[in-house]
Structure formats: C-alpha cells, structure tokens
Amino acid sequence: MRTDYEHLAARYDEDRAGWSLPRDDVVDELLASNQVVRVLDLGCGTGRWLAAQRDFFGDSAVVLLGADPSSAMLAQASTKRIANLIRARAEDLPFNGTVISYVASSYAFHHFSDKDRALDEVRRVLTTDGVFRINNFEPTTAHGYWLYEFFPETVAIDAVRFWPPERIADALDTRGFTVEVNLDTDPAEIPASDALADAERRVLSHLALLNDGAYAHGLARLRHKAALPNATVLTPRSQLRLTARRTS
C-alpha cells in the first residue's frame, strides 16, 4: 500500500505552504559537542524541512542530506537549491558505516514498507550518541478527525500503515536506543470549507490511497456539510514526536 508521489509531487507543497518549520533543537544540541554535524532527512520529499534548516544553520558546521525514493519529489526539492539529495529507500541507505549524526524523519515513517529493516538501517548509519527523531501524525489519538468522519475507510488504511508509538519505542529499545515519546493531542475546529479544500486536492496520502468510489462518496458528504452556514469540523492535533538516542 503505497502513495504515488511521482504523481503527487507537483502539488505536494500546496497543502503545506502555510506550515511553520522551526529551528531544529537536536541540531543545536549536537552542534554544541561536535565539530561537524551530518544530518539526514529520511523521506525528505520536496525538501521543505531541509530548506528551512539550511536557512537556520547556513553559517554553521552542519551538512544537510536528503533521501527519498521518489525522483519527482527530489526534483521538487532540487528547485529549493538543496544540493545533497539521494534517491534511496529507508530500507537500503547508501552509506558505509556510522557517518550520520542525526536522522530526522517527518511524516514519512508510515510510508516505509519494511519498518524493521528501516530501523536497522538507521541504527547502522548513526554514530554512537547519534539521534533519530520521528515527527508524524498519530491516528490512534485522532478522535473526531474530519478525515475519518467523512472518509471512514481511511481508518483501516492507516491501521496498516502506522505503528503505535509504543511499538516504535520498543523496536528502537531492542536496537540499543533510549527513547522519549511526546504526544500533542489538542483538538481544534476549522471551517468545513477548509477541510473540503484539502480533500478536493487529494494530496493527503490517506485520500490518495482511497478507492475512487469511497473518495467520491465522502467528498459529497463533506461538500454537503461545508454548504451549511458556519459549519466546522474537528481536526485533532494528534502529533507524535519520538526522539531516540543510540547508546550502543
């Protein structure tokens, strides 16, 4: 079950243009104790995170690298003047030995087809005391999410793709990592028209994987809701931030 990012790449940044990308605290921490910090954005997509961190750390000893299996996504990233881009799957990273200080993976872990092998590769390339961070949507705490309300078939799709936080933490613990898990589950209401605009673009991977009949049915229901005066829907901020440090 894979999202076709070769097809979605040109429109991918549309839904993310307003997202704020902060200065990464792990990079700051590692810079305090390392002369050079090599950072790999695993599943870098169109390179938005890399471009933001380049702007934050451009004058420091940070080497930014991006890896993604989609040539179309990497082509979009290259337009942001990101030089160190590699076409590679998380399960087969083209690095020899422990050469990476920090592996960051944002909204990508659920796309990895063999998550255990991907975690093995992360451990293989990370230096001792290196850090692996996952930022991702956490569906098990997304109660009332408009996407699941109007497109209920996506619940089963996400149950297959997403590992619960405790499963990820246990898998990393067995690989010699110490793990810290943080969840942000504060809900928020948004205009139903905003949700409809997101759904109509069909860039969200949940919807891209949905069959056309279920998508059309859910879209019709959402359009009916958005036509009501002052209609709102719930968009829980169910966000996972998992930070793991390799200790052995």
Per-residue model confidence (pLDDT) at position 237: 80
> What angle do the packed helices 115-125 and 165-173 form, to 10 degrees?
50
Per-residue model confidence (pLDDT) at position 27: 97
Q: Is 126 exposed, middle or buried (0-12, 13-18, 19+ CB in 10 A)?
A: buried
Instruction: Tell me which residues of the chain have a pLDDT lower than 50.
Output: 9
Q: Which domains does the chain have, with CATH numbers?
A: 5-246 (3.40.50.150)
Per-residue model confidence (pLDDT) at position 17: 58
> What angle do the packed helices 192-201 and 212-226 form, to 10 degrees?
160
Q: 56-64 — which CB contacts under 8 Å span 24+ positions?
A: 56/23, 56/24, 56/27, 57/23, 57/27, 57/31, 60/31, 61/31, 61/34, 61/35, 61/36, 61/37, 62/27, 62/31, 62/36, 62/37, 63/36, 63/37, 63/38, 63/39, 64/39
Per-residue model confidence (pLDDT) at position 207: 95
pLDDT tens-digit readout, 140-160:
899 899 999 999 999 999 999
Per-residue model confidence (pLDDT) at position 186: 85
Per-residue model confidence (pLDDT) at position 18: 57
Per-residue model confidence (pLDDT) at position 225: 98
Rounded-to-integer distance, Cα 126 and Cα 176, Å: 11
